[in-house]
């Protein structure tokens, strides 16, 4: 039986990248629940939402690589600096304290080795914004996999709109994003889900797409 993954918190130690060092992702009433739930990170553009999520992805990816380290995949940490991460797999709480290549791991506060660390089966970055920070690692046509030695495709997969061909062109990303949004809106399941999100956020039940393509002339 698959256990639900629930991220509790991430603590970045002496990080220059994040103004805040501690991020809590879990409500107290959900800690002992067996059900999976979705965490929504909300904030204005440019405040570091995707940067924070990418840091979480990098930490989980590093732990996966460390746990499955072998001669065919050289383990090299992506996330630089110390951190502490706590998450639940089912009702079991796992905590990892990392500092200068030294790991302290525990389950329900009892020390364990890396091979006993339970993790999510996979990590998927499904991103549809123009400036998200996630790394492309898939070998799709036209996409170069420059991170195969760091982002193991057995665990991490990028399903966003960027590709090697259109990575630098915002107009291509805009057109692709519009196609994806239009296609999603026609899906009944998407409509039900987005209505729940709007109701939770106390937003009007409407989606307005506004964009402007500007051409700069030298």
Compute the distance between CA of residue 54 and CA of residue 154 in angstroms, rounded to an integer.
17
Structure tokens at 164: 């090697």
Q: What is the pLDDT of residue 168?
A: 47
Phi/psi at 49 (nearest 5 deg)? -65, -55
Q: What is the pLDDT of residue 105?
A: 96
* Domain boundaries, given as residue ranges, for the chain: 1-121, 122-218
Listed residue (184, 159, 174) closest to 212, CA to CA: 174
Q: For the chain, how many residues are written? A: 218
Alpha-helix runs per DSSP H in the chain: 49-67, 170-185, 188-201
DSSP assignments along 97-135, one per residue? EEETTEEEEEETTEEE-GGG----S-EEE---STT--PP
DSSP conformation class of 155: T
Q: What is the pLDDT of residue 119?
A: 93
**What's the whole-model pTM score?**
0.68
Q: What is the pLDDT of residue 197?
A: 77
Q: What is the pLDDT of residue 166?
A: 47
CATH class of 1-121: alpha beta
Q: What is the pLDDT of residue 125?
A: 85
Structure tokens at 161: 């709109």
Which residues on neighbouring strands pair with residue 12, listed in sequence order?
83
How many alpha carbons fall within 13 Å on the CB side of residue 45?
A: 4
Compute the distance between CA of residue 135 and CA of residue 82 in angstroms, rounded to an integer.
21
Write out the chain's pLDDT in tens, 218 residues.
Answer: 568 888 999 999 877 778 788 999 887 666 666 666 678 888 887 788 888 898 899 899 889 988 887 545 455 565 667 899 999 998 899 999 998 778 899 999 999 999 999 999 888 888 776 677 788 765 554 444 556 567 878 888 888 776 654 454 555 556 666 667 667 666 666 677 777 777 877 877 776 767 666 555 54
């Amino acid at each position: 039986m698959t256990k639900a993954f629930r991220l509790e918190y991430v603590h970045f130690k002496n990080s220059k990248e994040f103004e805040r060092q501690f991020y809590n992702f879990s409500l107290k009433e959900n800690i002992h629940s067996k059900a999976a739930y979705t965490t929504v990170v909300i904030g204005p553009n440019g405040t570091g939402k995707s940067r924070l999520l990418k840091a979480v992805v990098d930490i989980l990816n590093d732990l996966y690589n460390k746990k499955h380290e072998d001669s065919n995949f050289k383990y090299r940490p992506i996330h630089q600096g110390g951190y502490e991460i706590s998450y639940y797999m089912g009702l079991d709480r796992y905590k990892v304290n990392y500092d200068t290549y030294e790991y302290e791991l525990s389950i329900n506060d009892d020390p364990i080795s890396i091979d006993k660390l339970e993790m999510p089966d996979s990590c998927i970055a499904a991103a549809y914004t123009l400036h998200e920070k996630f790394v492309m690692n898939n070998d799709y046509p036209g996409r170069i996999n420059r991170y195969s030695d760091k982002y193991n495709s057995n665990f991490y997969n990028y399903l966003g709109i960027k590709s090697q061909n259109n990575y630098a062109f915002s107009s291509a990303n805009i057109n692709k994003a519009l196609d994806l949004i239009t296609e999603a809106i026609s899906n009944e399941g998407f409509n039900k889900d987005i209505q729940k999100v709007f109701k939770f956020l106390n937003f009007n039940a409407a989606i307005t797409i506004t964009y402007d393509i500007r051409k700069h002339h030298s």
